[in-house]
Amino acid sequence: LAGPEFLPGSYIIRVSEKNKGEFNFNSPGLLLSLSLKKQETHAPRINRFLISRENKQYIIEKGNFKFDMLTDLVEHYSGRCNKSNIVLTFSVKREASAIRWDFPETSIKKEELLGEGQFGKVHKGVLKHYLEPEPVALKSPKNMTREEFLK
């Protein structure tokens, strides 16, 4: 969504990390993640919202409307006169939303160490890219053999 080819109003709905591996859209407590590119004062920005499924209905966090079907929720927020700050205009397909993960070193600022584990270290970082600096976790693996890694 960060690329210039995606206009404000472009969006992606995915299963939230909390529900990774659970693809039953009827399960109670299901959380979906809505990423939406919005036009802010100076530049576009990616906003994220949670969509939850409660009592057999979908609702966007802090929203006032509940929907029986996810498609009804999308249709409602696709209307230009929905009076909310959420306007969905173009659903980005999964392939089109693939993030390019190789960035030039000059676009990444490495900050303090957040933690260290069996496989490596995690640092706080900042990625400077299309829209605005974005906080990231930088993971660096330890030097180990394939056998050590697979243990």
Residues that constitute the known binding site for ATP: 139
Q: Which of 61, 41, 63 is nearest to 131 (CA)?
A: 41
Residue whose tokens read 């659903």 = 91
**Residue positions in the annotated binding site?**
139
Tokens of 123: 């640092």
Decide if 37 contacts 20 (C-beta within 8 A): no
Question: Which residues neighbour 43 within 8 Å (Cβ) at sequence distance 6 or greater?
Answer: 131, 132
Nearest to 52 by CA among 63, 43, 40: 63
Residue 19 structure tokens: 């529900």
Token reading at 85: 């700050």
